[in-house]
Amino acid sequence: MRTPARPLPTRPRPTARASRLALTPLCLLLLPSLLLSGCGDGQAAAGATGASTASAALGAEAGSAAAPAALRHDGADVVVPERSPLRGRIVVAAVEQRAVEQPITAPGTIEALPDHLARITPPVSGRIERLQRALGDSVKAGDVLFALDSADVSAAQGDAAKARNAAAQAHRDLDRQQLLFDADIAPRKDLEAAQLARTQADSDLATAQAKLAQLGAGNATGRRLLVRAPLAGRVIEMSAAPGGYWNDINAPLMTIADLSQVSVTAAVPEKDLAQVFVGQKARVRLNAWPDAPRDGTVRYIGEVLDADTRTVKVRLILDNADGRLRPGMFAKVQFSGPSHDAPVVPSSALLQSGLFTRVFVEQSPGRYRARDVNVGASLGDAVEIVSGLKPGERVVVREGVLLND
């Protein structure tokens, strides 16, 4: 007899919560493998990027180690390392001690010497017949400059002729009265009157001749007056033409100047007047030829101070054999001052830091320290140091601006 089959036992269906709880350990076990398999490509890319970044960082560190800093600061000092590229550019030199003068500089003007300049004015009015010299011509003393036809000259000569005749007549009258008086024919009073008349006539003749001499017509005849040069020189100005009538006896018709020597008149400020003296050496630089200075000597110091400019005129004499110095030119006059010893550095060593001037003093090779200084006179490419440095100290004279940060 067949035994009936037993039904298989059935398990109860798990709930959703139970299913989730049962799957959790499995998921935790499978998650690493899924992440590894699913994100393998992304991790490879990230790994490559990280490797590149690390390589760049290592390269930068290596580069920094290979190129040291150009300079660094150590307290108040600026240090230039031995391997710095600035080592070959910075130049250091010792401070020199030199005799320094304190020159006085003043503006000046070229002028003709007063005793070498003649402004020719006709002594009388008249018509200019001819000009014997033209502008720029050289003349000698006594040369005829121009001829003037003047009625005043004719009148003066007439007056001189009358005075000459009157004097001759007075002499004859005196001789006659003297004979009559010696013969007891004429009284003494007639003789005395004749003597007085002769004296008066001689005085009138002398006055007329002096007037002709003053006009320069002592040997002239007629109406023509020849005007002559009073000194040798060159005609530098002319204001007339032949045929013109000249009636202003105070206006110069022609100017003659001897420019073999000229004067330089400098306007020295009142504050510097105590350092200027007669015989002092000076150097004159012309605006027209600044590279060709000339040396002169102080000849005269003015007695009056200009109230407007507060300056005194100081005159020097310069030779002008080449004729390059012309009246009216501007110049700069530098008077030599007292000499003293002082530290001197090249002007390239000075650096401006705000309101102060400084230099870099070498403490040891490659180590420099900034120091403020006071400067004095300028000596071309060098400068006097009034305070802040001593002779023998070593300062940066080139490329110091690289240290001035």
Residues near 30 by beta carbon (within 8 Å), at least 6 away in sequence: none
- Contact predicate 176/190, CB 8 Å: no
Structural domain count, the chain? 3
How far apart CA 266 and CA 269 sit, in angstroms, is 10
Residue 345 sits in the same domain as residue 387:
yes
The answer as to whether 168 is a domain residue is yes
User: Which ranges of 119-221 would DSSP assign to H, the alpha helix?
Assistant: 151-182, 188-215
Residue 318 sits in the same domain as residue 294:
yes
The answer as to whether 178 is a domain residue is yes
Nearest to 106 by CA among 251, 254, 351, 271: 271
Which of the four pLDDT bands, split at 50, 70 and 90, describes residue 244? Answer: confident
What 3-state DSSP class applies to 365? coil
Which of 335, 359, 376 is where one domain is finished?
335
pLDDT tens by residue, 291-330 = 889 999 999 999 999 999 999 999 999 999 888 889 999 9
The answer as to whether 291 is a domain residue is yes
CATH number at 331 reads 2.40.30.170
The answer as to whether 68 is a domain residue is no
Residue 323 sits in the same domain as residue 391:
no
CATH number at 159 reads 1.10.287.470
Residue 328 sits in the same domain as residue 272:
yes
Owning domain of residue 398? 77-100+341-402
Residue 313 sits in the same domain as residue 353:
no
Which of the four pLDDT bands, split at 50, 70 and 90, describes residue 2? Answer: very low
Q: How many alpha carbons lie under 13 Å from residue 42 in its C-beta half-sphere?
A: 5
pLDDT tens by residue, 59-117 = 444 444 444 567 788 888 888 888 888 888 889 999 999 888 777 889 999 999 988 99
Residue 47: per-residue pLDDT: 39
- H/E stretch holding 114: none
CATH number at 347 reads 2.40.420.20
The answer as to whether 292 is a domain residue is yes
- Contact predicate 268/314, CB 8 Å: yes
Which of 163, 192, 219 is where one domain is finished?
219
- Supply the DSSP string of 19-54, one letter for each residue: HHHHHHHHHHHHHHHHHHHHSHHHHHHHHHHHHHHH
Residue 213 sits in the same domain as residue 163:
yes
How far apart CA 347 and CA 384 sit, in angstroms, is 9
The answer as to whether 34 is a domain residue is no
What 3-state DSSP class applies to 354? coil
Residue 326 sits in the same domain as residue 351:
no
Residue 293 sits in the same domain as residue 345:
no
Nearest to 335 by CA among 290, 386, 295: 295
pLDDT tens by residue, 321-375 = 888 889 999 999 999 877 788 999 999 999 988 888 999 999 998 899 999 999 9
Residue 325 sits in the same domain as residue 391:
no
Residue 318 sits in the same domain as residue 365:
no
Q: How many residues does the chain have?
A: 405
How far apart CA 167 and CA 156 sit, in angstroms, is 16
Which of 320, 335, 350 is where one domain is finished?
335
- Contact predicate 309/67, CB 8 Å: no
Please determine, for residue 245, whether its predicted confidence score (pLDDT) is greater than 70.
yes
- Supply the DSSP string of 99-110, one letter for each residue: EEE--EEEEEEE
